[in-house]
Amino acid sequence: MHEDITYRPARDLAQMLREREISAREVVSAHLERIEAVDPEVNAVVTLCADRAMEEARDADERIARGADVGPLHGLPIAHKDTHDTAGVRTTYGSPVYSDHVPERDDLIVERIRAAGAITIGKTNTPEFAAGSHTFNPVFGTTRNPYDTTRSAGGSSGGAAAALAAGLHTLADGSDMGGSLRNPASFTNVVGLRPSPGRVPQSPDPLAWSTLSVQGPMARDVSDLALLLSVIAGPDPRSPIAVQEPGSVFADPLDIDLRGLRVAWTPDLGGAFTCERAVLDTLAPQLRVFTELGCEVTEDAPDLSGADEVFRTLRAWVFEAKLGGLLDSDRDRLKPSVVWNIEEGRRLTGADLGRAERLHTRIFHRVREFFEHYDVLLLPVSQVVPFDASLEYPADIDGAVQETYLDWMRSSYCISITGCPALAVPAGFTPGGLPVGLQVVGPHLAERRVLAVGHAFEQATAFGLRRPQL
């Protein structure tokens, strides 16, 4: 019975709650029992708010009983990413420097989720300061992949994704600089959307004009993801780059006819990266699905030359700007990759940043022109299948050495630079049972198109319905 609740789509549970077919206490209790039963294997929910969650569930049931107006997420349990400040709940950013940190206020994304009626059941694990696409830190340890607990769940929203895959919460919030919503979704057979910058406004944010890191939704299917996006998207005066279109535009059904859709597919963005053969062997057969749905599929890619330099330059600048003070005060408590990022930022010159921004602008316009000829771009989410969880990052891709912990993430971080919305959607399994995701990219601000295409693919394939055996 409990698994029937914990794997039921969020939109169905929300309707059942509104119609009093089930109580919020039953829903929250089922998820807490699921966490107790399977999370020791996965380590996805790292701070649990069981008593608080049951109190909020009682309040939610009372609101329904007296006929009060309720939000679209009313009574749904969600654990927030441990980089998102959550008032009154321990929030560590995966760092020993903040191991006892309890914020006094919510980040905007948490504020919106809770205002829509969701119940906070805890926090989800993340690498230290969200650095890297493998979720481990000295505070809580390593999050493991529910489909194979010897493997990585990806990151930095790895705890969020693993918790979805394991049935520990209904929806998830996350963030994405170089793939942190998409890579873990690909690794764990769920969906994750990196929205266009400003689509989900961020506050507080010390670099409010920066477009590199965004926050966004994760779910077990695209319709649930759209439900969460409808809540967290929309304008807010605290963000100077907030998109003014209301989030409610994502609340409508996603069903569309794909006949005539112009689809570009690339296995490598014109040689920008290489993939493990297992990834391409899993994805290549799925192109037939788009053809069968009536799409015109062409192998092509935008010119993203310079994207690597842009990403690494702006990433280093962001790390130094946000965390540089910790390098001076707590260097010995930071993991080496965080130290490296900050030091790379300190080596930058004004000329370096100027060149990166010029390249950034050229890439935007080349991609804009590319989408005059195509409706969506398809490519791998991740260049590798889920790797050994004991590693910091994959040292090689089919023999090609990966020199830094960023190298294997190019298939995601090159897309980050474009400013385009990018969806990771389940696209099959390797012969060994490891999930592989497909990345669906659309023009700047074309989130609805990307979601509709992902939804159609999901409906045609049903890969997302395959659950892990825990």
Residues recognised as catalytic: 81, 156, 180
Q: Is 159 left (phi over 0), alpha (psi -120 to 50) or beta?
A: alpha
Q: In what order do the strands lie in the sheet with 119-124?
A: 45-48, 119-124, 77-81
Give the pair of three-digit tokens for residue 467.
């659950």
Are 421 and 195 within 8 A, CB to CB?
Answer: yes
Sign of the alpha-carbon dihedral angle for 193, 244, 228, 200: positive
Structure tokens at 309: 């330099």
How many CB atoms are closer than 10 A to CB 406? Answer: 22
Environment class of 277 (CB within 10 Å of its CB; exposed 0-12, middle 13-18, buried 19+): exposed
Separation CA 202–CA 241 (nearest Å): 9
Helix, coil or strand: residue 276: coil
| Total residues belonging to the chain | 470
Contact 419, 364 (CB under 8 A): yes
Amino acid, single-letter form, for residue 63: R
